[in-house]
Structure 1
Amino acid sequence: MAFRVVPGGPGRVRFKLCGLTDESAVEAAAAAGAAYLGFVFFPPSPRNLSAARARDLALAAPVGVAKVGLFVDPDDASLDAVLEAVPLDMIQLHGHESPERAAAIRARVGLPVMKAIGVAGAADLGQVASFAGAVDQILLDARPPRGAALPGGNGTAFDWALLRGFACPLPWMLAGGLNPANVAEAIRISGARQVDVSSGVESAPGVKDPALIRAFAAALSATAA
């Protein structure tokens, strides 16, 4: 699968806009240069989509922008049902999937897989190595607060300094509490070359704000200057 190359200089940071729920957000994300568009298939989330709705949004996206389906501990039947309807380019696993389960899903669906790892301290980064060979990318997200109903999209960040000197064996993406005001600092501290944003560009849970999307993209552009 050939992913879209984001326009701009060689220092440009790629970004994923996750939790899209309407056409205006898809249009704003694409216009801002998003490399990935994320669609959530997890009913407790305010960003959850039906397969039919996700199909409409995926088909509205420009050719070449990677369409990512986010699942939480999915069974084979739920994966099959979505993939039969929605033209996805990548699967994001955001639950407690083991390396073995992640590898089995990748083999079953024939698509690249990104695995989310919740980070609260340095010890959590030790999980990453076990996924080498099982998935294609790692998403380093803030571990959900105790009692949180959602595995991501909670608007919290972890200590980005934990990533200084971290030699990740796979391509990786930074997530967790990112927004237009802090993403440049997050990149400076962590060294991330890919970032994921969801609640940080929303006016309400599940409602993306095109102005905030543009501001986020502008903050990324400034890091390449």
Structure 2
Amino acid sequence: MTSERRTGIKICGLSRPGEVAAALDAGAGYLGFVFFPRSPRAVSPDRAAELTAAVPPGRARVGLFVNPDDAMLDSVLATVPLDIIQLHGAETPARVAEVRARTGLPVMKAVGVAGTEDLDALWNYGLAADLLLVDAKPPRDAVLPGGNGLSFDWRLLAGRRLLKPWFLAGGLTPDNVAEAVRLTFAPAVDVSSGVESAPGVKDEALIRAFCAAVP
């Protein structure tokens, strides 16, 4: 992250060297790699190891998992030097704590929000996770738990204090990210589909535009 930037940036679902380079050049402090086979952004551990080798010290390599078992976590971490584990499934607070203890790494937990009834979960997960990712709750028939390009009413978070540092996600684009930060006071933002030209294909120009638009 550049020293002038006040809001942290995570570019998630990187799968090609050019995408990683663009994210780094644009000032993203967190680079996300997806280990969920059904995602169009999924990468193998070997591929992720190649991509993360380009990430310099001071930038965080984040591995996204969906309801992983211990064997999967062990397998990926044996190959990929991750800095943060992101859990984006139906993991309970207890499971978050287990993953944190097993891996010895900070854990970011994604929490889906659609309305006020979902906000209590932010407190419960904040007790177990090191970081929170506040995302739009996926539709009931969604194949993917995130990366669907959906947003939620950001005003739900206005003035709300969370227990842990957090990222705002869900439907963010170069055109709306400044307004999203203004409304929520989010300390960091996360984008995936909002900087893609097709599912799983990052647009390097959009990555740069997004990072430039973040206040």
TM-score, reference length from structure 1: 0.93
Q: Secondary structure at the match of 2:167?
A: strand
Output the amino acid matched with 2:12: C
Please show how residues 90-129 of structure 1 align to structure 2 within 5 Å: 90-129=84-123
**Which residue in 2 is equivalent to 1:139?**
133
**Which residue in 1 is equivalent to 2:3?**
8
Contact 2:165 2:187 in 1 (8 A): no
1:149 pairs with 2:139 = no
* Structure 1 stretches of 4+ moved >4 Å: none
Deviation of 1:128 after TM superposition, in Å, equals 1.4
1:190 pairs with 2:165 = no
1:57 pairs with 2:83 = no
Deviation of 1:209 after TM superposition, in Å, equals 0.6
Summarize deviations over 1:80-125 as a string: whole Å, max 9, x none: 0000000000000000100101000000000000000000001111
1:87 pairs with 2:57 = no
TM-score, reference length from structure 2: 0.98
Distance (whole Å) between structure 1 residues aligned to residue 132 and residue 151 of structure 2: 16
Cα–Cα, structure 1 residues 114 and 190, in superposed 2: closer, same or farther, change >3 Å? same
Distance (whole Å) between structure 2 residues aligned to residue 26 and residue 109 of structure 1: 25
**Which residue in 2 is equivalent to 1:207?**
201
Alignment root-mean-square deviation, CA: 0.9
**Which residue in 1 is equivalent to 2:34?**
40
Output the amino acid matched with 2:143: A
Unaligned ranges ≥5, structure 1: 1-5
Matching residue within 153, 161, 169 for 1:175: 169
Deviation of 1:133 after TM superposition, in Å, equals 3.5
Output the amino acid matched with 1:52: D
Deviation of 1:132 after TM superposition, in Å, equals 3.1
Deviation of 1:7 after TM superposition, in Å, equals 1.7
Deviation of 1:200 after TM superposition, in Å, equals 0.3
Contact 2:62 2:85 in 1 (8 A): yes
**Which residue in 2 is equivalent to 1:3?**
none
Same amino acid, percent of matched pairs? 61
Deviation of 1:60 after TM superposition, in Å, equals 1.6
Q: Secondary structure at the match of 1:186?
A: helix
Distance (whole Å) between structure 2 residues aligned to residue 88 and residue 98 of structure 1: 22
Contact 2:2 2:27 in 1 (8 A): yes
Distance (whole Å) between structure 1 residues aligned to residue 127 and residue 184 of structure 2: 24
Distance (whole Å) between structure 1 residues aligned to residue 111 and residue 102 of structure 2: 22
Output the amino acid matched with 1:163: L
Deviation of 1:197 after TM superposition, in Å, equals 0.4
Matching residue within 148, 152, 159 for 1:158: 152
Q: Secondary structure at the match of 2:156?
A: helix
Deviation of 1:146 after TM superposition, in Å, equals 2.5
Aligned residue pairs total 215
1:19 pairs with 2:16 = no
